[in-house]
């Protein structure tokens, strides 16, 4: 078995203004950090409308398409920018996670990491926001349910910002379990523990500013028990690395060992419950050195679990 790296050069064509934290250099640094690892490298395809429409209405796709500039930059909100290559990049970011699901469920690889941008976990049903256009992980979860006939798909999101988009897109879906840790208070100011989903399938783990690995591990202990009891057939991961102590956009104090630990825990559950099937995709992480180092330890642990 092996670990797949799903990526595409189109991810470099989603351009944001100078000084914007979600920039082309993020993907460049991640890919450089992974270049010497023994990964099965796969090109990310564009997601089809059919797959995006399981999560977003046609009006959402139309709004983004209409806002793509012919040249220069366009803007959807204060934080979310578009360039001429943004639609292709966003479709490949979602399509890459779908491709990874196909590879993992076919047994061609044990697990996969999708290194693409823009990220996705803030995109709600009808609202692109927080640097995100499409709900990449939620799109892949609904694809796994519809196309592969799964009945239990788990999503684990350890980005420092709450995955409000994933929560929104899966809120009414009884065949998924969403587990998300995040700093609170922090943008987008959602993700309290009492937000539990229409079918009690949302488990939020808010963490206080200034907390570190000890608090994170304590919060995840009951969540991992819940995850095991759920017996997922596939685990999807929103891998944000902005909880790192050096990240400029938040105030958690995770170290590389903490990202290593949470990756190991997810892989342990996957090994026990679903033949090691894990599909991870890049979300946040805005200090370039910390992002690159964190992504590398994450993928190294996927490689070890997939061996």
Task: List the chain pLDDT tens, one digit each, 307 residues.
Answer: 799 999 999 999 999 999 999 999 999 999 999 999 999 999 999 999 999 999 999 999 999 999 999 999 999 999 999 999 999 999 999 999 999 999 999 999 999 999 999 999 999 999 999 999 999 999 999 999 999 999 999 999 999 999 999 999 999 999 999 999 999 999 999 999 999 999 999 999 999 999 999 999 999 999 999 999 999 999 999 999 999 999 999 999 999 999 999 999 999 999 999 999 999 999 999 999 999 999 999 999 999 998 8
Is 199 annotated as catalytic?
no
Catalytic residue among 29, 122, 161, 244: 122
Q: Are strands 81-82 and 74-75 parallel, antiparallel or unpaired?
A: antiparallel
> How many structural domains are present in the chain?
1
Place of tokens 């939020």: 204
Q: CATH number for the domain including 34?
A: 3.40.800.20
The model's pTM: 0.98
Tell me how far apart the alpha carbons of residues 9 and 27 are, in angstroms, rounded to a whole number.
9
User: Which domain covers residue 172, as residue numbers?
Assistant: 3-306
Q: Give the full edge-to-edge strand order of the sheet including 202-207.
A: 40-43, 3-7, 111-114, 278-282, 234-239, 153-157, 176-183, 202-207
Tell me how far apart the alpha carbons of residues 266 and 22 are, in angstroms, rounded to a whole number.
26
């Amino acid at each position: 078995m092996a670990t797949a790296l799903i990526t595409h050069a189109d991810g470099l064509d989603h351009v944001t203004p100078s000084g914007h934290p979600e920039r082309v250099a993020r993907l460049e640094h991640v890919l450089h950090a992974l270049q010497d690892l023994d990964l099965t490298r796969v090109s990310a395809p564009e997601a089809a409308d059919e797959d995006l429409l399981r999560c977003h209405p046609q009006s959402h796709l139309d709004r983004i398409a209409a806002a793509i500039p012919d040249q220069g930059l366009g803007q959807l909100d204060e934080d979310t920018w578009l360039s001429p290559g943004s639609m292709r990049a966003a479709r490949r970011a979602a399509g890459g996670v779908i491709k990874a699901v196909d590879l993992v469920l076919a047994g061609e690889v044990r697990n996969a990491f999708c290194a693409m941008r823009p990220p996705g976990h803030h995109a709600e049903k009808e609202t692109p926001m927080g640097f995100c256009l499409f709900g990449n992980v939620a799109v892949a979860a609904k694809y796994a349910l519809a196309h592969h006939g799964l009945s239990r798909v788990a999503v684990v999101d350890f980005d420092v910002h709450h995955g409000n988009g994933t929560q929104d897109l899966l809120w009414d879906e009884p065949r998924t379990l969403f587990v998300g840790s995040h700093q609170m208070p922090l943008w987008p100011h959602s993700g309290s523990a009492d937000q539990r989903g229409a079918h009690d399938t949302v488990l939020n783990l808010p963490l206080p500013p200034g907390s570190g690995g000890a608090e994170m591990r304590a919060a995840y202990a009951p969540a991992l028990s819940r995850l095991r009891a759920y017996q997922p057939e596939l685990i999807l991961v929103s891998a944000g690395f902005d909880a790192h102590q050096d990240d400029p956009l938040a105030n958690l104090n995770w170290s590389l060992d903490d990202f290593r630990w949470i990756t190991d825990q997810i892989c342990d559950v996957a090994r026990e419950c679903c033949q090691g099937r894990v599909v991870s995709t890049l979300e946040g992480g805005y200090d370039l050195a910390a992002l690159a180092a964190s992504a590398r330890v994450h993928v190294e642990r996927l490689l070890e679990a997939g061996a």
